[in-house]
Amino acid sequence: MTIADTLFIMSRDLIAQRKGYFMTNYRKLFTYFLRDDQIHEDELMSQHTTFGIGGPADYFITPETEKELQQVVSITYQEGLPLFVLGGGANLLVRDKGVRGVVIYTGGIRGIEKEGNLLHVASGMSTCSVAQAACRYGLSGMEFAAGIPGSIGGAVYMNAGAYDGEISQIVESVISCNQKGELVKRNNENICYRYRHSIFMENQEVILSIVLKLVPGVAKDIKAQMDEFNHRRRTKQPLEKKSAGSTFKRPEGHFVGQMIEELELKGFSVGDAQVSEKHAGFLINNGKASCADMLQLISEIQRRVREKYHVELNPEIQIIGEE
Ligand SMILES: Cc1cc2nc3c(=O)[nH]c(=O)nc-3n(C[C@H](O)[C@H](O)[C@H](O)COP(=O)(O)OP(=O)(O)OC[C@H]3O[C@@H](n4cnc5c(N)ncnc54)[C@H](O)[C@@H]3O)c2cc1C
């Protein structure tokens, strides 16, 4: 064995030991207020993203109440651990090395309540199920969101939108949890909404619940409109493939899909990462794409668009994880 081999084994063992120490201690901390089966270690993020891509999260925590979520947030920050909030994983590209620290999955935080024209919704509810509930209650205003995958918390964070509608138009107020675990209430005008942007992208707060303000409507008409939007989606978007929706934000005065199509990049691929044949604005994972493949595809598209159109394409998807 060479000196280099010995040094390599020593440093590998040291890292393993440190990781083991890190893991055991923090697991114990969370067990004070969570069941054992709510704390997962080395959970593959590829199982929790619509891209089907992403390495392991050190800790993957699944709170089931707002109180539990608050406790996880405050302990995680107290201990100085990095924290990431995962909704439906429908707008995420997670790097192959995975996510260090804690990932909180909000899917267990559920509940919806009607109060006149208001809907009080827990952040882990899926956006589609909230839109369907609004329809059942005869409340209009959420039809545009009927086919947007992911959680309502994620939609509020991203200011998700479609068909001329945007979440910002129907949010009355939001309750979030700050880094000290304290609750903060914000009305719409304090959320700093603009295109695919909200204040939560800057302040690291975790959205717990949302009040949506809708208007009375006729359930049959609301459903017809939602069906029509969903039909349009099915015909235009590669919903049968693994994707995260539109990869890039819309640059002013340009259409992303059109530019990529004109560059004849439909079907262009790096490994299993491919520009959809059906909708050039969607990048898809054809099976075993890695994050590295997807990032290479993204930067190649950006390069060619820059060269031909002098336009900078910025990702709409959130790219996270260890580089
Ligand atoms: C087929 C397809 C079609 C799509 N169509 C559209 C569309 O028409 N319009 C559109 O806008 N988007 C669309 N998307 C993208 C995606 O559905 C939206 O961005 C969605 O709102 C993301 O929600 P999520 O819960 O999946 O968020 P995630 O992907 O889990 O997370 C996205 C970001 O939100 C943050 N986040 C999530 N929950 C919380 C919370 N409770 N508190 C704080 N931060 C949080 C995360 O930390 C992350 O930074 C599409 C995606 C797919 C796969």
Cα separation, 316 vs 249, in Å, equals 5
| H/E run at residue 284 | strand 282-285
Task: Read off the tokens for 235.
Answer: 């015909």
Q: Whole-prediction pTM value?
A: 0.93
The pLDDT score that the predictor gives to residue 145 is 98
Phi and psi angles of residue 204, each rounded to the nearest 5 degrees, phi first? 65, 15
The pLDDT score that the predictor gives to residue 22 is 54
* Contact (Cβ atoms closer than 8 angstroms) between residue 37 and residue 143: no
Strands, sheet with 99-105, edge to edge from the N-terminal-most edge strand: 39-44, 56-61, 99-105, 83-86
Q: Whose Cα sits closest to atom 19 in ligand 1?
A: 91
Return the ∠ at Cα 49 (arms to 264 and 297), rounded to 5°: 25
DSSP string, 238-281: -TTSEEEEE-B---TT--HHHHHHHTT-TT-EETTEEE-SS-TT
Residue 146 CB–ligand 1 contact under 6 Å: no
The pLDDT score that the predictor gives to residue 5 is 47
- Ligand 1 pocket test target in 157, 199, 243, 278 with most atoms within 8 Å of CB: 157
pLDDT tens by residue, 21-66: 455 578 888 998 999 999 999 999 999 999 999 999 999 999 999 9
Give the nearest ligand 1 atom to 238 CA: 1
Q: Is 316 a catalytic residue?
A: yes
What is the CA(15)–ligand 1 centre distance, in A? 34
Residue 98 CB–ligand 1 contact under 6 Å: no
Phi and psi angles of residue 245, each rounded to the nearest 5 degrees, phi first? 75, -150
Cα separation, 157 vs 197, in Å, equals 7
pLDDT tens by residue, 135-182: 999 999 999 999 999 999 999 999 999 999 999 999 999 999 998 889
- Nearest Cα neighbor of 40 from 72, 65, 2 is 72
Cα separation, 166 vs 154, in Å, equals 13
- Ligand 1 pocket test target in 61, 105, 128, 148 with most atoms within 8 Å of CB: 148
pLDDT tens by residue, 168-223: 999 999 999 998 889 999 999 999 999 999 999 999 999 999 999 999 999 999 99
pLDDT band at 2 (very low <50, low <70, confident <90, very high): low
Residue 57 CB–ligand 1 contact under 6 Å: no
Q: Is 74 a catalytic residue?
A: no
CA 185 to chain centroid: 22
Helix, strand or coil for residue 114?
strand
pLDDT tens by residue, 61-117: 999 999 999 999 999 998 899 999 999 999 999 999 999 999 999 999 999 999 999
Cα separation, 31 vs 72, in Å, equals 10
Residue 313 CB–ligand 1 contact under 6 Å: no
Q: Whose Cα sits closest to atom 17 in ligand 1?
A: 149
Helix pair angle (66-78, 3-30), 10° resolution: 140
Return the ∠ at Cα 304 (arms to 302 and 309), rounded to 5°: 95
Q: Is 35 a catalytic residue?
A: no
Task: Give the residue-averaged pLDDT of 261-289.
Answer: 97
Helix, strand or coil for residue 142?
coil
CA distances 261 to 33, 264, 267, 273, 282, Å, are 52, 5, 10, 16, 11
Give the nearest ligand 1 atom to 167 CA: 11
* Contact (Cβ atoms closer than 8 angstroms) between residue 159 and residue 196: yes
Task: Give the active site residue among 66, 196, 198, 290.
Answer: 196
Give the nearest ligand 1 atom to 50 CA: 53
CA 65 to chain centroid: 20
Cα separation, 57 vs 41, in Å, equals 7
Where do runs of H (alpha helix) occur along the chain? 3-30, 66-78, 127-136, 152-158, 200-203, 219-236, 256-262, 291-309
